[in-house]
Amino acid sequence: MGVLNDPSLGSLIANAKWPEDGNPGHTIKINLSFTLLNDQRTYIMAHEIGHTLGFRHTDWDQNGESISKFVPNSNSTSDGANLVPGTWSDDPLSIMNSASYNSFYPSWQDFSYTDYLAIRTTYPLSLSEKPLYTYQTVSTGGGNYTTDFSVYEYSNNGMIYKGWGGYIYDTQVSGSIPIYKYYSPLSTWYVISTDPGIHINFPGWEFVEILGYAFSSSGPNRIPIYEFYNPSKGFYHSSNFNEDQALGTGWVNNGIKFYTMELL
């Protein structure tokens, strides 16, 4: 990748070449006539590298950009805006917001949580890993879970999308154990568990599927998943130890149930 000084950019601080023929964009142009702090330079370079990897502005819609955008110096005439499953188009902390070139030039802090998910989804560490997407059931307030975002998407079938709790695997890897998903038709509750016999030992629960594979113990790059229970609403699983405070009164933290892989 080449980084070039280009004063002809005028009021634009920098731009980058988009991916082409399956390869990252090979050029980033910087307008060195701007005086910036080192952290601001780092932010802008991270933003432009994101473009070379194929990421458009997170806030493209709010910024009035077309869903198809001309790609300069490319054989392609447009680059469609595609929302990465599980992310949002209104993340004010995203490194890919166009605001970095508008009225202010933020200093480098870190990638946002949705940035990490977008990067990890587009360029996974393993083809077997899947985000553990978390939903809240509108009718009860309890949780529901999937690794296939198309099942519920952002709001469908009485579910509210809440985010994700790390990564699990769709095939068993060394040291991992199955995560079972169950459903109770009577209460309309869902629960996920490492116990393979809930539907046998507790009448009224039905086995749905093996959701994926996670870990029973802590380890490098693993995060704990806590189980919360409310006798009138059901179960909810989260990587946030204080999730019961967000869920409201009546929820009890039942402790760590398994470990997923963190986003970073």
pLDDT in tens, 28-69: 999 988 888 888 888 889 999 999 999 999 988 888 888 776
pLDDT score recorded for residue 106:
67
Shared-domain flag, residues 150 and 88: no
Helix, coil or strand: residue 76: coil
Taking only the tens place, the pLDDT of each residue in 249-260 is 999 999 999 999
Confidence bin at 109 (pLDDT 50/70/90): confident
β-strand pairing of 155-156 with 159-169: antiparallel
Instruction: For residue 56, tell me if it sits in a domain.
Output: yes
Query: What domain range is 256 assigned to?
Result: 129-261
Verify that 135 and 249 share a domain, yes or no. Answer: yes
In the chain, the amino acid numbered 167 is: Y
d(CA 105, CA 94): 13
**Model confidence pLDDT, tens digit, residues 158-208:** 999 999 999 999 999 999 999 999 999 999 999 999 999 999 999 999 999
Domain end among 84, 119, 154: 119
pLDDT at 108: 72
Q: How far apart are the C-alpha atoms of 226 and 235, rounded to whole Å?
A: 10
Among 80, 100, 119, the domain-final residue is: 119
Q: How far apart are CA 129 and CA 215, in angstroms?
A: 13
124: in domain: no
Q: What is the pLDDT of residue 71?
A: 55
Gap between the Cα atoms of 224 and 141, Å rounded: 22
pLDDT at position 237 is 98
Q: Which helix (H) or strand (E) holds 102?
A: none
Q: Mark which of 68, 89, 119 sits at the end of a domain.
A: 119
Closest to 198 (Cα-Cα) out of 218, 171, 172, 179:
179
Domain count, the chain: 2
pLDDT tens track for 111-120: 999 999 999 9
